[in-house]
Chain A
Amino acid sequence: MNTRREFLTRSGFGVGGIALAHLLQQDGLLAAPSKPGENLPMDLKAKVPHFAPKAKAMISLFMHGGPSHVDLFDPKPELTKHNGQDYGGQVHYSFVNRASKKLFGSPWKFEKRGQCGTEISELLPNIGSIADDICVVRSMHTGHNGHEVSIRYFHGGIAGVTGRPTMGSWIVYGLGSESQNLPAYMVLSDPGGHPVDGTHNWSSGFMPPLYQGTVLRAQEPRILNLDAPLNLRGPIQRENLELLGELNRRHLASHPGEADLETRIASYELASRMQSAAKDALDVSKESDRVHKMYGLDQPETREYGTRCLIARRLIERGVRFVQLFLGGQPWDTHENIRSGLPAICRRTDRPSAALVMDLKQRGLLDTTIVHWGGEIGRLPVSEGELTDKSGRDHNGQGFSIWLAGGGIKGGMTYGTTDEVGHKAEDNVVTPNDFQATLLYLLGIDHQKLVYHSNGREQKIADGRPARVVQEILR
């Protein structure tokens, strides 16, 4: 490959951007579509999608641990009716040693919400209030009960396999960044620590690190070392970076074609622009009291998650392509004491999640921003261990619910069903690969055509497995 071209394209959004862009246009290289057998240019410049996109960005509220769909989004009157009776069907347990066949009816009531009348649990009053904006998919299926196995399926496209780029990496690889000042793919971590499966949740796998998620700290300062000391700001820092750029360019000239060197050059340029842009983006004090209240920043229970949801919106406003919020400590993994555990995590996330959708809508951003709310699995309709007041539910990858909103998703609907007790997805089953294909489609990408060549192998997000764009839930 022509190294000059590579160098130019890879470092193309950096120092002397205008002159460089001019050069690139002369070369006809700007956002050049990939040729067969070749990768897209390894940079973060905005790329031309495969077709007109409905969405420009995505926020994923990832609910680690497996939210209990039969208590939240998928009402099962039969389950309630037969509470305490033995289930006649086959159950796929994770914890065989604690396996029970006792049907465990939801202790909570469901109510028809919005004009559409989607039934949503009383545990989620705020999400209920946006029922007309969301599409609840009730037929998710990973086929695997394990957390990591299913998480990797959602993120990387193959159940259980690590070392693959996450969906955020694929999106940024395919579309580049709209922002010149912020990383295109950002992860908002939880004060409770990294989620299960750690850094795999935002790894770029076999793609260069350019495409991995940038993790923001859970506490202030969310980005360490964001500011130069006072005496080094302004022209001094500019000169510093210019010299550094020159040193690095000379070094690169003696090692042409080394992608890692080029990526690091770009990372300095990004870092310097981030200094002001990120500060601004992360400063939620600039928002009005009304907005603070809307996200629950005035309440101790919702303040933390609400702040992150609000930051997510501020990042999307500034052109960040993909933002993902994670939870540490598996709060949805309610193996026991679901009666206390589930309401607690609902209280923590319900208002902020709903506020995010409402806020995006009020700002006219919902049309172009996909919001995803969901975990990697759901939970069983039977109790884990004996059925008592302290019971919980075991993992269930056979059938569970998520919801999507905005960015071309049809609101006010439900899609797919599980069986009468909520164990297995029955009609219109949606796999993580279908999920990926659908979201990429909304972003203007044909998942079959988004290809990355790694060590002689053509890689795609679904890796050749069946992946369907779920047209029925699109507007």
Chain B
Amino acid sequence: MKLPTPIPRWRVLFVCVIAFVPASVRADVLTFEKDVRPILKAYCLDCHGSGEKVAGKLDLRLKRFIEQGGSNGPALVVKDPVKSLIIERMKSGEMPPTEKKVPPAQIAIIEQWIANGATINRPEPEKLPPGIDITPEDRAYWFYQPLQRPTVPTTAAHPIDAFIVAKLREKNLDLSAEADKRTLIRRATFDLSGLPPTPEEVAAFVADSSSDAYEKLLDRLLASPRYGERWGRHWLDVAGYADSDGDGTTDTVRPYAWKYRDYVIRAMNSDKPFNQFIIEQLAGDELVPAPWKNLTAEQIDQLAATGFLRMAPDPTTSNGDTAPLANQVVGDTLRIVSTSLLGLSVGCAQCHDHRYDPIPQVDYFRFRAVFEPALDPANWRRSNQRHVSLYTDADRAKSDAINAEVQKLQGEYNIKQSKFMDAALEKELLKHPEHQRVPLREAYKTPADKRNPEQKKLLELHPSVNLNPGVLYQYDAAAADELKRDQASIAAKQALRPIEDFVAVTNETPGSLPKTHLFYRGDYRAPKQVITPGDLTIAAPDGARFEIPEKDPKLATSGRRLAYARHLTSGKHPLVGRVLANRIWLQHFGRGIVDTPGEFGLLGVRPTHPALLDFLAVELAERGWSLKSMHKLIMTSRVYRQSSVMTPNTTDRDNQFYSRFPLRRLEAEAIRDHILSVSGLLDDKAFGPPIPIVEDFVGQVIAQNDSPRRSIYLQVRRTKPVSLLSAFDAAGTAVNCDRRISSTAAPQSLMLMNSDFVLKNAELFAKRLREQKPTLTEQISLAWSIAYQRPISPEESAAVTKFLEKQTAHHADAKTPNPDFHALVNLCQQLMCSNEFLYVD
């Protein structure tokens, strides 16, 4: 998939108007607060309530106000929809005057409400402060409820099973039988490492009849360094990881982005508590005291962690620090933070109060104010202006000493060189008549632009006098050689200087504490009142919004991000805990409990198992934010261990209720790594600068020199996604990727059938089989255990034998040398193309 040449984003209107259909038929009594206000909020309150002034003096925020009416008189006549102006205006299409009209079904709700007597839930206040308030109905939405440990149903011993089985029973369904051991080890190994188990690992697990064999398997997988490469990649999706700025077609490489990637992998492998992981990503710079010199490995990690806040594409790199572009980067960064941690489309409130969720516009700017000191468009620093040198004092001293030596050597060299040149010139002049020597010497020594016409002519007539250091060897080979040796020793000396390494850091500009303004209609050119930092109002009980001081007196920095990160990870934050727990579940089962993992608000999908989600969120905090402990909790459940085979005639075809384990296609990286692993080529070297990507002669983007490193180590260029990975739905890098899709399209098939990458690995796989086993039968059976992690069946064996015979004959017909080997290669390739290879059951 090709990335679009980024277009100026301000041209793509920031409109978040999205159709929203509330339950149209309600059995209970319609009330203003529950049924009518949400419709008015979506369609009318922008003009009739949210601002300081209301259009036509008509305020629609309270039933009382509607009844009172505006310039055109009362808008509501209780029990008489026909006489109610509000209905008339909506029906005639006169109101709202612009954009979309109120759908008939929703007008009908308001009509019905009026006809029934315009019921209100509670007495309305005398006065309202300006703006759209957050009502008890808004607050009643499930996502904003305080996080509490739910009662675990008694339907099963394992708490996760208990929640799932309780729901299954309601639907007259049950869990499927437990999957066999081979399926389990394959499933768990791909899940935790993104790679297949080896035949030996499968054999050992199948043979292990101890009662804790499965737990031991999980422990082994969780302890493997491959784990961080798998689960780190999940987090990189959400962070929008890329090794380039995405500044148009230039797409400047970010030379140190990979340190953030390595930080993430290390954090996963060491099971860094997730709260700490979040704090470091949001505010690692505030944890490391200035000045940043002689940093420890841990401090470098904490600084690298802040790369999270600089993952958004940044067009300012090659397009100038213009305000619209810098503001766009800030907006994208806030989007990454909000979709990854808050699960709300906070960005919709950039221009106006969120039309559906209770996020007033001022909350968006509170959120922005947390980050403004570090991401300040008025004091913008591009990616390459945020590199912090990792030179230690010792490095610098050593480097300075070497520089002095080099300088000395270079001086000696220069003297020697001019001596040699003079000697060569004199020698050459001797070849010329005596009377010419002086003028020739003078002409030569006169700088070229100062020579008079005679001198120029003279030199033209005697070109051999035009010596320069580059041709000295033609005049005095020994001298030239000596200079060359001297040059080499200077270079060798220079090479002794410690290489200056950098880490990309998101930090504040010392001494600067910018004010955050609310932008009228989201336009940075229309700043309004100053807003102070804080959390979303809805994330705390009424009146208890978390406010952040503008400056923490105890810190050199403002301390805003640190305070915010600690607040988010207190274990009580209703949004963060659920969002993270949902992500963990999503990766294990391919589907979140909330299936829109970046949007838990009204525009998202409701949770299928809300109590289970709360349970997991509470567990996460109580287990010391240990991801590995959560994996174990989830993977030891029967829900995880059940078979993926669909029960005939099941009523749960879409597996909405988890009546079977979901069958899933491997993700892009896992497909590539699986192929490399089977061919035996996989290089499991970890960490370090990314493997550059290149285009081959037809324009496929591949790893340089066909590098067999794991896919997570391939460079992520926004404009040049690796062809194989993007064909299989690798994470998009336009901003970040909430959740991968899993598509099936003919180009994927062509990729597996015909690409050089697959053909080459198929050949290596065949070689590997031949090297390891002497007979064809053994080779085939080894192929099955490597590629499918199971023994071959007699039917398959027969079919394959026939296949190999036919292919060998075809290759022989074509006069291909080693026809039987090529037939085996053909077999290996078909295994790599097959569904059993590409899917985990």
Contact = CB atoms under 8 A, between A and B. Distances in A.
Interface of A: 1, 3, 90, 92, 94, 96-97, 143-149, 158-161, 183, 189, 192-196, 198-199, 208-210, 212, 214-215, 217-219, 221, 223-229, 231-232, 234-237, 239-240, 242-244, 246-248, 250-252, 254-258, 260-261, 263-265, 267-268, 270-272, 274-275, 328-330, 333, 335, 395, 397-398, 455, 465
Contacts of A229: 754, 759
Contacts of B698: 221, 224
B2 A244 contact: no
Nearest to B1: A199
B653 A240 contact: no
Interface in B325-354: none
B750 A271 contact: yes
A36 B723 CA distance: 42
A260 B836 CA distance: 12
21 contacts: A96-B523, A148-B15, A159-B100, A194-B3, A209-B744, A212-B745, A225-B750, A225-B751, A225-B754, A229-B759, A234-B810, A237-B753, A240-B753, A244-B834, A247-B796, A250-B796, A264-B665, A268-B753, A330-B7, A333-B11, A398-B98
B12 A146 contact: yes
B700 interface: yes
Nearest to B14: A146
A257 B646 contact: yes
Given A231-B814, A248-B835, A335-B11, A239 B806 contact: yes
B525 interface: yes
Interface centre among B526, B700, B753, B826 (most CB of A within 10 A): B753
B19 A160 contact: yes
A397 B13 CA distance: 12
Q: Is the interface of B mostly helix, strand, loop or mixed?
A: loop
Contacts of B2: 189, 193-194, 217-218
Contacts of A149: 13, 15, 17-18
Contacts of A221: 698-699
Interface of B: 1-5, 7, 11-19, 97-101, 103, 521, 523, 525-526, 644-646, 648-649, 653-654, 656, 663, 665, 698-700, 723, 727, 732, 734, 742-751, 753-755, 759, 795-796, 799-800, 803, 806-807, 810-811, 814, 816, 822, 826-827, 829-831, 833-836, 838-839, 841
A243 B17 contact: no
Given A193-B3, A198-B4, A198-B734, A158 B19 contact: yes
Most buried by A among B698, B759, B816: B698
A166 to B, nearest CB: 14
A256 B646 contact: yes
Given A146-B15, A147-B13, A161-B18, A274 B796 contact: no
B646 A228 contact: no
B479 to A, nearest CB: 54
Contacts of B5: 192-193, 328-329
B582 to A, nearest CB: 18
Contacts of A226: 750, 754
Nearest to A272: B753
B803 A243 contact: yes
A218 B732 CA distance: 19
Q: Which 3 A-B pairs have the closest CB atoms?
A: A193-B4, A271-B749, A146-B15
Contact of B17 (A159, A183, A199, A250): A159
A244 B1 contact: no
B99 A143 contact: yes
Given A225-B747, A247-B834, A239 B523 contact: no
B469 to A, nearest CB: 47
Nearest to B656: A455
Contact of B743 (A209, A225, A395): A209
Given A239-B826, A240-B830, 13 more contacts: A96-B521, A144-B99, A159-B100, A215-B1, A223-B747, A236-B826, A239-B810, A242-B803, A244-B833, A247-B834, A267-B748, A270-B746, A329-B5
B749 to A, nearest CB: 4
A67 B418 CA distance: 69
A219 B747 contact: no
Nearest to A221: B698
Contacts of B646: 255-258
A228 B829 CA distance: 13
Given A160-B19, A224-B723, A231 B816 contact: yes
A255 B663 contact: yes
Contacts of A271: 746-747, 749-750, 753
B829 to A, nearest CB: 7
Contact of A260 (B14, B665, B755): B665
A257 B2 CA distance: 33
A155 to B, nearest CB: 14
Nearest to B727: A224
A40 to B, nearest CB: 16
- Residue of A90, A194, A224 ringed by the most chain B CB atoms within 10 A: A224
A247 B4 contact: no
Contacts of B18: 149, 159-161
Contacts of A199: 1, 732
Contacts of B521: 96-97
A240 B523 CA distance: 59
A212 B822 CA distance: 36
A235 B835 contact: no
A333 B11 CA distance: 8
Contact of A228 (B1, B98, B754, B816): B754
Nearest to A275: B750
Contacts of A145: 13, 15, 99
A141 B41 CA distance: 23
Contact of A264 (B648, B744, B803, B807): B744
B278 to A, nearest CB: 28
B836 A251 contact: yes
Contacts of B833: 244, 268
Given A225-B751, A256-B646, A235 B810 contact: yes
B550 to A, nearest CB: 28
Contacts of B15: 94, 144-146, 148-149, 160
A270 B13 CA distance: 39
Nearest to A91: B98
Contacts of A335: 11
A44 to B, nearest CB: 11
A207 B2 CA distance: 23
B305 to A, nearest CB: 29
Given A149-B15, A221-B698, A260-B665, A247 B836 contact: yes
B644 A255 contact: yes
B280 to A, nearest CB: 32
With a 10 A CB-CB cut-off, give which of A143, A239, A252, A465 has the most chain B CB atoms. A239
Contacts of B744: 208-210, 260, 263-264, 267
A146 B13 contact: yes
Nearest to A210: B744
B254 to A, nearest CB: 20
A1 B745 CA distance: 25
Given A196-B7, A251-B836, A271-B746, A224 B700 contact: yes
B276 to A, nearest CB: 35
A247 B101 CA distance: 54
B745 A143 contact: no
A328 B700 CA distance: 20
Contacts of A330: 7, 11
B19 A258 contact: no
A209 B745 contact: yes
B1 A143 contact: no
B822 to A, nearest CB: 8
Contacts of A228: 753-754
A225 B811 contact: no
Given A225-B751, A235-B810, A330-B7, A214 B19 contact: no
Contacts of A264: 665, 744, 749, 835, 838
A267 B2 CA distance: 21
A236 B807 contact: yes
